[in-house]
Structure 1
Amino acid sequence: MKISKNTAEHYIWGQQCDGWHLVKREELSVIHERMPAGTEEVRHYHEQARQFFFVLKGVATIEVEGEVIQLHEQEGIEIPPRVPHHMMNKSGQEIEFLVISQPTSKGDRVVLRD
């Protein structure tokens, strides 16, 4: 079945960020996300889910186990289970990216406090 942001299930998270479920299954999740300038998610890890972040638009900043990495358009990074990470938009423009999780990250997130 054909899917797009226009037809996908939409949700709002964090500080005015958007997500669209392109694939929503227990064994696989693909989400198109949008983060306005200056927003960020909380630092966390997943017990079982392996994730791949792929930037579609803009420059994303992701902290992985204390290392800060900039991801430009058409760049991505894989995050294994139990590895702390933190996605941020430190740019002055909105960013869009895909988050692919296997299995789904729903109910699998452990929030870390600094």
Structure 2
Amino acid sequence: MIRNKETGEHYIWGAGCDGWKLVNDPSLSIIHEKMPSGTCESRHYHEVARQFFFILSGAVELEVDGVTYSLSPQEGMEVQAGTPHQIFNRSEEDAEFLVISSPRSAGDRVELT
């Protein structure tokens, strides 16, 4: 089956961010996400899942264990399980990216304050 934003299960997260589940298997999750300008997610980590963020359009900042990285289109970064992280869109335009998690990160998230 061909998968894309039109066929993926849609959900809203954070302050007006979108996600489309392209693969939602217990061993693998691939989500296409869109973050409007000025949005971010809460700082957290995953107990078991490792993740790879791959930027499709726009620019984001990914804070990983206290270090902030700037990511542009066609760049990505892996975040190991147990590592605190948070993604920000501080640019003037929407950012779209893939979040690939193995195993699936649902129910594995620990929020940090």
Shorter-chain-normalised TM-score: which range? Answer: over 0.9
* Structure 1 position 94, deviation (Å): 0.4
Calculate percent identity across the aligned residue pairs.
56
**Alpha-carbon displacement from aligned partner over 1:35-93 (angstroms, at most 9, x marks no partner):** 00000000000000000000000111110011010000000000000000000101010
Report the Cα distance in structure 1 between the residues aligned to 2:23 and 2:15, rounded to whole angstroms. Answer: 23
Q: Deviations over 1:85-106 (max 9, x none)?
A: 0001010100000000000000
CA-atom RMSD in angstroms: 0.4
- One-letter code aligned to 1:28: L
1:50 corresponds to:
50
Residue type of the partner of 1:3? R
CA distance, structure 2, for counterparts of residue 78 and residue 3 of structure 1: 23
In the alignment, does 2:26 pair up with 1:26? yes
Partner deviation per Cα, 1:16-36 (whole Å, 9 max, x = no partner): 000000000110000000000
- After TM superposition, the runs of 4+ consecutive aligned structure 1 residues lying more than 6 A away are none
User: What is the one-letter code of the residue matched to 1:20?
Assistant: W
Structure 2: distance between partners of 1:59 and 1:4 = 21
TM-score scaled by length of structure 2: 0.99
SS of aligned partner of 1:3: coil
Q: Give 1:73's aligned amino acid.
A: P
Q: Who is 1:107 aligned against?
A: 107
The count of residues paired between Structure 1 and Structure 2 equals 113
- TM-score in terms of structure 1 length: 0.98
| SS across alignment from 1:6 | coil
AA matched with 1:21? K
Which residue identity does 2:24 align to in structure 1?
Answer: K
Matched, 1:68 2:68: yes
Q: Flag structure 1 segments of 5+ consecutive residues without an equivalent.
A: none
Taking the aligned partners of 1:47 and 1:111, their CA distance within structure 2 comes to: 11
